[in-house]
A and B are shown apart, each in its own frame.
Chain A
Amino acid sequence: MSLIEITNLGYDLGAKKILHDIDLKLFEGEIVTVVGPNGSGKSTLLRLIIGAINPTKGSIERKQNLRIGYVPQSLHIDPTIPITVKRFLNLPIRVPINDLTEATKQAGINNLFDKQMTELSGGQFQRVLLARALINKPDILLLDEPTQGLDQPGSANFYQQIEQLRKMLNCSVLMVSHELHVVMSASDRVICLNGHICCQGKPEIVASAPEYKEIFGSGTEGALAIYRHEHNHSHGSDNLKENNVG
């Protein structure tokens, strides 16, 4: 049984077709990455799934009582709103402190509760957003360019965390990213999006697909190289260093 089933989905903005003919199923426990050029409708797809916007056409079926954890694209918090990390995590519903501590631990942060949201570094901020998404023990995590504004080691670190989380919580992950080389290594399935789904499949298959090369050019050998390179090693703490070199 799929968690989310998208059928014949279309979304228009005025006369412009942002997305069309999208069919997509997301299954339990898998990590799916959506790649695509700017303006290809990646963020729109996620916003349709969380219900921030309604489809022009087609349908999105969610499993009953599906819990979605959403990490938005580089959220800007207005500096006129004084808010501590703890209060932010307690919005809009108050959460027992044990659940809070657990979620922050899972997201890889601690001792940030009393900090102001505006004082956080980019990496800390993204992890707070991640912790927020983890609080209601989601069946699926939706991540929209979660590493925007992070440097390369930072984002490699972040994706590694996601992979660990998937193992730990057995939740599915659907993420949007432009950092092909880092993301592909952690994905079970890659979807190449450009208004419609150009191609999809295992990372290595997508990376060698002609549709993919047409969009991203030939500079994608690197992605594949790192993908293979990673799997020559056992998963462990030294993955991060490998990614740094790459």
Chain B
Amino acid sequence: MLDSFLIRAALAGIGIALAAGPLGCFIVWRRMAYFGEATAHASVLGIALSLAISAPIFYGALLVSLVMAVIVSSLSSRGYAMDTLLGVVAHSALASGLVAVSFISGIRIDVMAFLFGDILAVNKQDLLLIWFGSLVVMALIYWRWSPLLIATMSTDLAHASGIKPKKEQLILTIILALFVAVAIKVIGVILIVSMLVIPAATALRLANTPEKMAIGAMIVGTVSVLGGLQLSFSFDTPTGPTIVCFAAILFIISNIFALIRRS
């Protein structure tokens, strides 16, 4: 069954969509979309470094995303706005990644593949990594769900309940870096943020509790992956972007639905 590239692509996409759902909710609630994008950009440097020393891409991407996330988190309390820092750190990392790749001789690597990913090229090893990574991401979010939620709503209320918002934020940042490292090869830098934000934003309109929104985002993400794959196969369109288009259409439908229900 896993021999069919379409099945492998679908399984990879679903694995990523399931992890992206609950994580994406926090990205939306905490207004971290740009943070997610910056982490993804920075991971390109990690990919370049991995290629240079012939290490698995996952580790390089994870390392650089983590370092970037921690640097930005700790610098943001020292007088720079968060998005300014992200702009500096992420783009410097992306640029140095692209420059570094050009020095690697002997191997011809298409960097564009990492910007857009290639979900149809997923092999069995990738699948294993994606599902393992996704399960870890989901387990971590499940474990920190309530503290993260209260810290997101109000740092003061969190403190009053004995929760340290800084610690929760760091955990979320680490989860995000892990997710990016897992997803980068399959959906690429550009599509990572779409998979995080669009399903969560779609579920937001139809949910009345945070939990329902997270589950809704997982469902929307999964449907988008399957629908997008199907359409891309039928119409011979690029797969990653087709998945995102499918998610965007669901987003529009959910907004129309919410409008009708309210009136």
Cβ-Cβ contact count across A and B, 8 Å cutoff = 70
**Interface readout for B190-218 with A: 1 if CB under 8 Å, 0 if not?**
00000000000000100111111100000
Residue of A nearest to B201 (CB): A80
Contact A84 B208 (CB under 8 A): yes
How many whole Å from B151's CB to the nearest CB in chain A? Answer: 9
Q: How many residues on chain A are close to B (CB under 8 Å)?
A: 25
Contacts of B154 in A (CB 8 A): 72, 75, 77
A80 close to B157 (CB less than 8 A): no
Instruction: Report the minimal beta-carbon distance from A127 to chain B, rounded to whole angstroms.
Output: 15
User: Which among A85-93, A151-159, A175-183 touches the partner chain?
Assistant: A85-93
Q: How far is the CA of A91 from the CA of B150 in the complex (A)?
A: 6
Q: Which residues of A contact B28 (CB under 8 A)?
A: 80
A81 at the binding interface (Cβ < 8 Å): yes
Contacts of B157 in A (CB 8 A): 70, 72, 75, 132
Option from A77, A87, A92, A133 in Cβ contact (under 8 Å) with B209: A87
Determine the distance from Cα of A75 to Cα of B153 in the docked complex, in whole angstroms: 9
B59 in the interface, Cβ–Cβ < 8 Å?
no
Chain B hits for A217, CB < 8 A: none
In the complex, A69→B160 CA distance in Å? 7
* B163 contacts partner chain A, Cβ-Cβ < 8 Å: yes
A82 to B150, CA, bound (A): 13
**B25 nearest CB across to chain A (Å):** 9
A77 engages B153 (CB within 8 Å): yes
Task: Enumerate 22 A-B pairs (CB-CB under 8 Å) in ascending A order.
Answer: A50-B159, A52-B159, A52-B160, A69-B160, A70-B156, A70-B160, A72-B156, A75-B153, A75-B157, A77-B153, A78-B152, A80-B29, A81-B29, A81-B152, A81-B210, A82-B207, A82-B210, A83-B210, A84-B208, A88-B153, A132-B157, A142-B160
Residues of chain A having any CB pair with chain B under 8 Å: 47, 50-52, 68-70, 72, 75, 77-78, 80-84, 87-88, 91-93, 116, 132-133, 142
